[in-house]
A and B are shown apart, each in its own frame.
Chain A
Amino acid sequence: MTRDLASAVRRSGAQAAAAVVIAAVLVASCGTASPARRATEYLDDSTSATITRVDQPFLFFSDDPARAANARDYLNAAPLAVNQAGKRSWWLWLGLWSTIDRGITVGDARLGDIQGVQLIIDGEPMDLDMGGRVERIPGVTRPPYEAPVPTARNLVVPLTGSQVARLSRGTSVVLRTEMTSGPALLWQPWTGSGNWTDFAELVAAESASPR
């Protein structure tokens, strides 16, 4: 059901806009039923930073029915909190990969570089700070997440504490990515991907982050 709605979103016109809202509401209902993703902490031995992470990244997908019926593009997303000597920062890691065989069209603009990311939380867009994207997270020696395929494109952008808090209250989260070229993509949560509550609660408990 969710995939059908996602396809509908890419149709032009008012129908698509309405579909986005409907999709968000329906995804919200799915998300509510999903278990919260368990969050844990560990100490980075090299930097003495406390890292808060979720056990498994959330998984989102995007269909491309013109190319494959049973294959998709996937987007792993996972939050990360870093507390280094009391200095706290929050990050969102994204890993973009695909099971679609694009053959000689490798480099398809559809999976080009991401130039903008929005989290659509309960239907409301939250654009992330692409200007703050980093290659290496300060205080983190080794990224705690990795996509299941080595060819995945990785991206890390900063969050604010209040954005994490807002995420934790969201019942549905959809991602939207703007690509360097090609259309923007909507990424729907894979069934059972869970919500963000545990992570935000753990971070909040650890850092008393503003809500």
Chain B
Amino acid sequence: MSIIQKLSTLALLLASGVAAAAPGEIVSVLISRTGGTADVEIRFACPNRLLGHSVTGAGTLSEITLMRVDGCPGSGDAIRDATRPAGRELAALGEVEYTARPGTDALLRLRFDRPVNVTVAQSGDLRGLRVQVQVVAGAGVPAGAPVPVVPPKVAPPGLTPEQVARAEERARLAMQPKVAAAPPPALYTINLRSATTPIDPGAEAVGLASPNQLSYISDLQVEDQLWHRLRLGFFVTEADANAALAGLRARYPDAWVTRASAAERLGAGAGATVTAKGGAEATALAGPGVAALTDAQSKDLLVQARGAIIDQDYPRAIDLATRLLAARPVAEKAEAREILGLARERSGQAEQAVAEYQRYIVDYPDGEGAERVRQRLAALTTAREPPKESIRDKASQRDTDWEVYGGISQFYRMDTIDFGGESGSADQSAIFSDAEVVVRHTGERFDFESRATVGYTFDMSGGDQSVDDETRIYNLYMDLNDQSLGLSTRLGRQTLRNQGVLGRFDGAIVSWQWTPNYRFNVLAGLPVYNPNETVETSRMFYGYSVDVLDLLDIFDVNVFVNIQEVDDVNDRQAAGAEIRYFGGNKSLIAAVDYDFGYSELNSVAALGNWTFGDSLTVNGRFDWRNSPYLTTENALIGQPASSIQDLLLTYTEGEIRQLALDRSGAMQSFALGVSRPISERFQISADVTASQYDGTPDSGGVRETPDSGTLIYSYLSLVGTSLFREGDVSIFGLRYSDSGASTSTGLFVDTRFPVTQALRLNPRVLVSYRDITEGDATELLVRPGLRVLYRMTRQFRLEFEGGGEFGTHDSGDESNNSTGYYLYMGYSADF
């Protein structure tokens, strides 16, 4: 049977969903399922490095520790993002939640409706996670889920196109080439001709320079002879300069390219006269607009320059102000000089800005903006001076007003999937509301911060599928920091993913910064496995740890001991360490967690990343761990009891600990990924992951799970930017996986198309084909979708997404079709 024939007769078992999450970090969640195994593919807006993973809450809560890397925008702020993706019933998944503290710590939390086994792998570019979910035998299957017809092996993960967000950033830069970031230094200039008699650039240079270039005179004293050189600059690369020179060769046959000194560039850009090293003198006399301007032209240029500053289009502001300064005489020169200084300051060109401001004060000491310019100059020069030593001075600078800020979002989600045949359907209709408020104050001695992050779900679906409305409390804590003693404390509901803590808890941490490189921490609390829980007192932990920075000038190290109890039984007695190394172009993170109560290694993981030159990035990962993380509470998996206390009515503590060991199977995974740009517009990336899950024994009435065998996943993707118009991003992806039970091939096209600065369209489609060994079954899935983002203001954003899922599953005599639709829309606002 040809593939086309197969495709025409397939029936659907697999159902899936593409869900754009609430605005923020989670870009999409893609869910598919074969038999008892579901794959959840999560894509982030920024790179998030996978550090660790654990399953708690008797197997219903998976918490994935992440570290935000590569200077994500907003990394200084706390972020919370949550979604209940379409098709989540297939993975018994209730919610996906992402939270990040100011800094780099982040946590991804997957809340399930019933106990599951979860394994997590990272895609090659650090912007995606692949989560494999296996519903624990004996724990039932989700209502409305399709009838399993294949062994509960692995399904191929969904597609995570490599470098999506990175490409988006590039595209965003292309869309906004004027904003903020300083352009690469333009170092090269063309020496057009040299003469011992003065050159009049106004007469000769007209028409030479493009808007981004400058024609100017550079003088050089050789013995008693002063040479005047007509030059055209500046160019980022020698090749750029050569290309420009090629067009001028007929006019200037002896022209040559050279690197301009910083003094020359500064002099030319500022229209100033500077003395270059070695006694040579460079005098910049003219820019492209050297011809005299009319009053109207001058005023128009000045208005444009002001507008460019307001638009943060600093390169344009520099260009316009330079033209004004070069065209003499104009009455607007003073303001043009100030604008030039301001644009250079905000472009990160501090030295040039200082030169402009100094020139302003010399030329216009009593000018309208003189006082303002003096203040800016003082701020710049002060910023470059070493800090004052006086504690009193520092303290008085630290004292700030109270700050209050936060955000709110509301999203409506509706999705419905009809599996056809006897599989039934799954529907959802709900409004998700989330809010966060932060109060902050920095005092002379004490710093205070308080954060509250809460959510509320209003379920509108009704019927059997309905879940109760619920209120969630993600964070509710206060920080108090005593600068003088080096003591800090955080008290309340909070999340921690290191020091042996497995996630959210109600409790306290007290830290003492002994020296800049050593910190001691003591902590205690009550673990919180679901944010909708009130204070849960059946579990508690305590522990202590030491942070050492720059150990041997190479590593950051954390060593910890953590003891956890549940219903007065030892739940976890862990000791471990985490080592981090960050070099210029490479990084390595390794962690180990050992349970000395069970005398069992809980996890060993290492993750490395190496960038070669400016292009090739290679990353590798090794991960061995118990899945779920070994805790005594794992004994509840598959049991009718809801607590260890209940279980103690049936089993002894020793038997319970053995059950916990039986439910905590080992998992090992190796991954290797590479990515590199292949042209200015395209980047290619690929990664391969091999993983294996040990089987778990039949015990305590819970059936055994077999060894998974070796599972292979591979991905190849091509990301193009500005293919159709400036600023767009297109992803073409191909995935292939072989799980032994099935092979799967998928094609994925995803385009982010900016219509305007505020409006972006994101059409996409996935076509997936799977060949299932057992029963000679095949599956075909087509999943189109459209997402629309509209940013009304900096603080307010609207989002809409809709799509469908159409599939067939053919198992010989039987064929099923499935149809699904989803809708997601809402707003988010910051204050």
Task: Report A's interface with B, CB cutoff 8 A.
Answer: 9, 12-14, 16-17, 20-21, 115-116, 118, 120, 124-132, 158, 160-163, 165-166, 169, 176, 178, 184, 186, 210-211
Contacts and interface: CB of A to CB of B under 8 A. Distances in A.
B224 A14 contact: yes
Nearest to B191: A126
Contacts of A115: 277-278
Of B224, B238, B245, B279, chain A has the most CB atoms within 10 Å of the CB of: B224
A160 B278 contact: no
B259 A166 contact: no
Contact of B278 (A12, A132, A162, A178): A178
A13 B224 contact: yes
Contacts of A118: 220, 222
Given A14-B224, A17-B223, A129 B258 contact: yes
Contact of B259 (A12, A21, A125, A129): A129
B258 A12 contact: no
A125 B257 contact: no
B258 A125 contact: no
Of A17, A162, A163, chain B has the most CB atoms within 10 Å of the CB of: A162
B256 A125 contact: no
B678 interface: no
Interface string B542-564: 00000000000000000000000
Of A12, A176, A186, A210, chain B has the most CB atoms within 10 Å of the CB of: A210
Contacts of B223: 9, 16-17, 20, 184, 186
B220 A160 contact: no
Contact of B224 (A12, A124, A125, A163): A12
B552 to A, nearest CB: 29
Contacts of B767: none
B280 interface: yes
B658 to A, nearest CB: 61
B224 A131 contact: no
Given A128-B258, A161-B257, A163-B258, 9 more contacts: A12-B224, A16-B224, A20-B222, A120-B222, A129-B258, A131-B261, A162-B255, A162-B256, A165-B256
A161 B220 contact: no
15 contacts: A14-B224, A16-B224, A21-B225, A115-B277, A115-B278, A124-B194, A126-B191, A126-B258, A130-B278, A132-B259, A160-B188, A160-B242, A161-B238, A166-B254, A166-B256
Nearest to A180: B278
A131 B259 contact: yes
Interface in B170-205: 188, 191, 194
Contact of B256 (A21, A131, A163): A163
Interface of B: 188, 191, 194, 220, 222-225, 227, 238, 241-242, 245-246, 249, 254-259, 261-262, 277-280
Contacts of B191: 126
A130 B280 CA distance: 13
A162 B256 CA distance: 5
A169 B254 contact: yes
A124 B259 CA distance: 17
Given A176-B222, A210-B246, A130 B227 contact: no
B486 to A, nearest CB: 45
A58 B133 CA distance: 74
B225 A20 contact: yes
Given A116-B278, A131-B261, A210-B245, A125 B222 contact: yes
A9 B223 CA distance: 8
B225 A116 contact: no
Contacts of A127: 220, 258, 280
B249 to A, nearest CB: 8
Nearest to A89: B238
A162 B241 CA distance: 10
A26 B245 CA distance: 30
Nearest to B264: A127
A178 B242 contact: no
Of B191, B241, B246, B278, chain A has the most CB atoms within 10 Å of the CB of: B278
A68 B261 CA distance: 37
Contacts of B241: 160
Contacts of A186: 223
Contacts of A125: 194, 220, 222, 227
A160 B238 CA distance: 7
A161 B241 CA distance: 11
A81 to B, nearest CB: 14
Contact of B257 (A16, A116, A124, A160): A160
Contacts of B280: 116, 127
B217 to A, nearest CB: 14
B254 A210 contact: no
Contacts of B279: 116, 178
Contacts of B220: 118, 125, 127
A160 B224 contact: no
A160 B222 contact: no
A118 to B, nearest CB: 7
A162 B245 CA distance: 9
Contacts of B278: 115-116, 130, 178
Nearest to A90: B238
A165 B246 CA distance: 13
Nearest to B193: A124
B779 to A, nearest CB: 47
Contacts of A184: 223
B413 to A, nearest CB: 53
Given A132-B259, A160-B257, A17 B238 contact: no
A21 B222 CA distance: 11
Contacts of A132: 259
Nearest to B218: A127
A12 B279 CA distance: 17
Contacts of A13: 224
A165 B222 CA distance: 23
Contacts of A166: 254, 256
A110 to B, nearest CB: 16
Nearest to A165: B256
B254 A160 contact: no
Contacts of B242: 160-162, 210
A210 B242 CA distance: 6
A124 B258 CA distance: 15
Nearest to B226: A17
A184 B423 CA distance: 92
